[in-house]
Amino acid sequence: MTTRPGISKAELAEKFREFIDPDFVITDNETMKPYECDGMSMYCEMPLLVVLPETPAQVQRIMRLCNEHRVPVVARGAGTGLSAGAMPHREGVVLSLAKFNRILEVDPLARTARLQPGVRNLAISDEVARHGLYYGPDPSSQIACTIGGNVAENSGGVHCLKYGLTVHNILSVEMITAEGDRVVVGNDALDACGMDLLALMTGSEGLLGIVTEVKVKLLPKPEIAQVVMAGFDSVQKAGDAVGGIISAGIIPGGLEMMDGYAIVAADDFAQAGYPREAKALLLCEVDGTEEEVHEHIEQAEALFRKLGATSVRTSQSEEERALLWKGRKSAFPAVGRISPDYYCMDGTIPRRHLAHVLLEMEKMSEKFGLRVANVFHAGDGNLHPLILFDANVPGEFERTEAFGGSILNLCVEVGGCITGEHGVGVEKIRQMAVQFSDQELQQFHDLKAAFDPRGILNPGKGVPALRFCQEYRSLEYKQHNHDTVEVAHG
Amino acid sequence: MADVSEGLRKQILNARKKDQKLNIVGGGSKNFMGRAADRHADTLSLAEHTGIVEYHPVELIMTVRAGTRITDIEAALSEEGQCLHFEPPCFGDGSTLGGTLACNLSGPARPWSGSVRDQVLGIRLLNGKGEHLRFGGQVMKNVAGYDVSRLQAGALGTLGAITEISLKVMPRPAASMTLVQDMAMDDVIRYMNQRAGESKPITGAAWVDGKVYLRLSGARSAVEATAEKWSGEVMEQGEAFWQQLQHLQHDFFTGDGPLWRFSIGSTAANPELDGPWLIDWAGSQRWYRGQADSARMESMARSAGGQVSLFRGGDRTDEVMHYQPEALQTIQKRLKESFDPDGLFNPGRLYSWL
């Protein structure tokens, strides 16, 4: 926890303006307003000020100043995060990396790209497509989200069972430490001597350093990809079919499941031709060489039929493949159309507990009086229940949060975790106490102090203060106490 | 097949009381790695802490105690048609999974299948305060808390004793084939990188003694079709070659002379040093048998985008790992202190200053 900053807003802004274009040291509330939240807009806070540096040297000077005066610093990319990880600190600086938006170098032979952190995820694949290459991780927000944010969250996407998460697809990061040192972790090789600091940085939610450059690996574009869509009359059967595919030795490029609610909503939205009567839908994409895809698609079709699929359809063209995916990819906005608001959860479970977890979720849905639609990265066990609610109805968001909390507790209970890819941020900080013991959480705090002795980097996020954990553990399932989290990140 | 973690915990607490340093040892097969072990330290043995805790083939996930031998793990996986995709190098039967993670060792498939660090999903760890902690989990995706599990890769046990590891396992490839042809070292770097950039089922690319070896594995139809298109002769004893490479049993590795490992950019020109070379990982891992000034080698490795370490032999009282800049030394010293405040574990094994 930081103590109060030892410098006024005006003084700090003045010092920043000595080395940063004054137009990019923002202090007025109106211009700062867009920075008050990230993609998790239920959590808002106005910062002390916003600063947009352009060079790593400027970031170094910002960090040295903030460290000297104990001013909290919250790094921000595109602000698409879904756990309020980039929510400002009211006494701190928002350090936006928006101006770090250049692709510095592409090396087609080595299959690498050197990027500034503000480069958008999809822009990487667009840029390298002419070399027959692409960047693997493809989170749903890939049009907007940045590679720096992907490193902070260890982003995945629909292809991560086969192609891995961000941590598997980066070679090095240059970062500025809390104390203003400029260091590189990782290198052009596949490993570096000593403890793996690159892995530690990945997914650290802006609590350990400010990333100013990223080197990523690129993959050769598969010759061909085809998707098999299979409808089932029960979630259990669809779950078994997922197991069947993997037991057959096939690792699909993508393997997604949707429940009945999501199928209808997505089909209404995208007219993808989904089997609307099905209780569960699988989309199984196989990619690779033509021979391999042909062999595996045949196996998958036969297997789904054998395991009780009520309908099986395989894409016969790129257009058809895109259409089948369109439904899944637009599941969130599709659900948004049938409800004023929705709240997306992100727990991960061992796949064998899927039917049990969905059944329990149905019971919770009744108990809380809120509908829930499910989309699911079936290959890797990552659930995205979408709780439908109306923020204008008093008390409904609080009920939604409590419902969400119960889902996460259930995920931990069956051996899973509270977040697969969205991060802890502020949003799931209370549930950390369910997944980790006090000793483990204390180890996290000690680890952070190794990078950030004064605790200025994104304080109040990611790891809860221990004094609030016991309280939450005793409250879990009963009621949720909004004051707890207010105090915890205050 | 026993859980002896409670005994290990007590030994750590006792050692802490008496300020007795501890060398963490699994099967002892990698005692030659890192700097020389502290002769005054006691042994904290994980050799009895063995057994597969959970294995769900359909989930592609296995959880084992850290002292479990790689051979036992592979036997269990083999029954289900699965394998450790990172092809762990074993230096004798004693090699354990805990040691493999601590040393971050992976075999020839590493550029395509990932490393041991890439497959790790969660660990349990005894820290220097004798706390038995759990990080990560038994699921493929988990971003709750810092990635302490993967941090252990390459730490050589300096942060604590890994007691349990959950990791991703994969189906065994249905078919495999090796193509071999003559090629000069000057040409092979570009060739291997070009092949690696094609969307084909390549899972190995190595060069030694004037010959380049490419391995294809995956669906039989894809392997056969690719072998038709690519140049090179099909090697009858292909599998044996890759196994020799995986376990460093190829003739190149015999003898007591120092063995240097250059972990560098895959396309970098080969460092100009006299002596035999073996190139693996499509150019990213290059083994050198020879002797040169270590500062000069470090500078060459740095220019090639990577690092060099003295993998085996040579003077192990000096540093054996690549130099770390001041700011990273500071962070690693503080990290060590956060896990092991009394500096009990593997003193000086990774660096003289840690």
Is residue B172 pLDDT above 80, yes or no? Answer: yes
> B217: helix, coil or strand?
strand
Contact A291 B225 (CB under 8 A): yes
Residue of A405, A419, A387, A421 lying closest to A477 (CA atoms): A405
Q: Give the tokens for residue A444.
A: 């996290």
Q: Which amino acid is at B110?
A: R
**Rounded to 5 degrees, what are φ and ψ at B256?**
-90, -5
- The angle, 0 to 180 degrees and rounded to 10, between the axes of the packed helices A354-368 and A396-413 is 160
Band of residue A338 on the pLDDT scale cut at 50, 70, 90 = confident
pLDDT number for residue A455 = 97
What does each C-alpha distance from A430 to A381, A442, A488 come to in angstroms? 22, 15, 9
Contact B306 A204 (CB under 8 A): no
- The span from the CA of B3 to the CA of B48, in Å, is 8
Q: Does B113 touch chain A (CB under 8 A)?
A: no
What does each C-alpha distance from A362 to A66, A358, A373, A384, A387 come to in angstroms? 48, 6, 10, 14, 11
Is residue A478 pLDDT above 60, yes or no? Answer: no
Is residue A479 pLDDT above 50, yes or no? Answer: no
Calculate how close chain A gets to B226, using CA atoms only, in Å.
Answer: 9
Average pLDDT, chain B: 97
Residue of A47, A55, A54 lying closest to A13 (CA atoms): A47
Contact B81 A249 (CB under 8 A): yes
pLDDT number for residue A3 = 59
Band of residue A144 on the pLDDT scale cut at 50, 70, 90 = very high
* Cβ neighbours of B267 in A, within 8 Å: 107, 109-110
Q: Which site among B56, B59, B82, B146 would you substitute to test the A interface, given the most A Cβ atoms closer than 10 Å to its Cβ?
A: B146
pLDDT number for residue A473 = 80
pLDDT number for residue A480 = 40
Which residue is it, tokens 């393997």? Answer: A255
Residue of B12, B30, B31 lying closest to B21 (CA atoms): B12
Q: B141: nearest CA in chain A?
A: A420
pLDDT number for residue A476 = 61
pLDDT number for residue B1 = 74
Task: Decide if B346 contacts B31 (C-beta within 8 A).
Answer: no
* Cβ neighbours of A105 in B, within 8 Å: none
Percent of chain A with pLDDT over 90: 85
Contact B337 A450 (CB under 8 A): yes
- The span from the CA of B157 to the CA of B30, in Å, is 12
Contacts of B230 (CB under 8 A, 6+ apart): B179, B195, B200, B214
The DSSP line for A244-304 is HHHHTT---SEEEEEEHHHHHHHHHHH-----TT-SEEEEEEEEESHHHHHHHHHHHHHHH
Calculate how close chain B gets to A288, using CA atoms only, in Å.
Answer: 7
ipTM reported for the complex surpasses 0.85? yes
pLDDT number for residue A331 = 87
HSE, CB side, 13 Å, CA atoms: give it for residue B200. 23
Contact A440 B133 (CB under 8 A): yes
Helix (H) or strand (E) holding A360: helix A354-368
Calculate how close chain A gets to B141, using CA atoms only, in Å.
Answer: 5
Contact B111 A190 (CB under 8 A): yes
Task: Render the burial of A203-217: b for 16+ CB within 10 Å, e for the rest.
Answer: bbbbbbbbbbbbbbb
- The span from the CA of B138 to the CA of A302, in Å, is 30
- Cβ burial of A18 (10 Å; 0-12, 13-18, 19+) is exposed
- The span from the CA of B333 to the CA of B329, in Å, is 6
Rounded average pLDDT over A203-207: 98
Band of residue B167 on the pLDDT scale cut at 50, 70, 90 = very high
pLDDT number for residue A93 = 98
Rounded average pLDDT over A161-185: 97
* Cβ neighbours of A199 in B, within 8 Å: 117, 147, 150-151, 153
Contact B140 A161 (CB under 8 A): yes
Mean pLDDT check: name the lowest of A35-44, A173-182, A448-457, B204-213. A35-44
Q: B196: nearest CA in chain A?
A: A220
Digit-coded pLDDT (tens) for B73-116: 999 999 999 999 999 999 998 999 999 999 999 999 999 999 99
Contact B153 A177 (CB under 8 A): no
Digit-coded pLDDT (tens) for A342-362: 999 999 999 889 889 998 999
How many pairs of residues across A and B have Cβ atoms under 8 Å apart? 279
Is residue B49 pLDDT above 90, yes or no? Answer: yes
Contact A192 B263 (CB under 8 A): yes
**Rounded to 5 degrees, what are φ and ψ at A60?**
-60, -45
Calculate how close chain B gets to A239, using CA atoms only, in Å.
Answer: 11
Digit-coded pLDDT (tens) for A57-71: 999 999 999 999 999
Calculate how close chain A gets to B125, using CA atoms only, in Å.
Answer: 10
Q: Does B100 touch chain A (CB under 8 A)?
A: no
Rounded average pLDDT over A305-318: 96
Which B-chain residues 65-94 have CB contacts (< 8 A) with chain A?
81
Contact B140 A223 (CB under 8 A): no
DSSP letter at B104 equals T
Q: Which amino acid is at A287?
A: D
Q: Give the tokens for residue A354.
A: 């899927």
The torsion angle over the Cα atoms of residues B120, A106, B282 and B323, rounded to 10 degrees, is: -70
Which of A188, A415, A443 faces B138 most closely, judged by CB atoms? A415
Which B-chain residues 259-318 have CB contacts (< 8 A) with chain A?
263-268, 281, 284-285, 304-307, 309
Q: Which amino acid is at A274?
A: Y
Digit-coded pLDDT (tens) for B154-166: 999 999 999 999 9
Query: Among positive and negative, which fits the CA dihedral A141, A146, A151, A153?
Result: negative
Facing residues of B55 across strands?
Answer: B62
Band of residue A445 on the pLDDT scale cut at 50, 70, 90 = very high
- Maximum Cα–Cα distance across chain A: 71
> B275: helix, coil or strand?
coil
HSE, CB side, 13 Å, CA atoms: give it for residue B303. 9
Digit-coded pLDDT (tens) for B301-333: 999 999 999 999 999 999 999 999 999 999 999
> B156: helix, coil or strand?
coil
Which residue is it, tokens 């002797």? Answer: B291
- The span from the CA of A37 to the CA of A47, in Å, is 10
Is residue A484 pLDDT above 50, yes or no? Answer: no
Calculate how close chain B gets to A158, using CA atoms only, in Å.
Answer: 12
Task: Decide if A16 contacts A25 (C-beta within 8 A).
Answer: yes
Residue of A463, A466, A468, A470 lying closest to A485 (CA atoms): A468
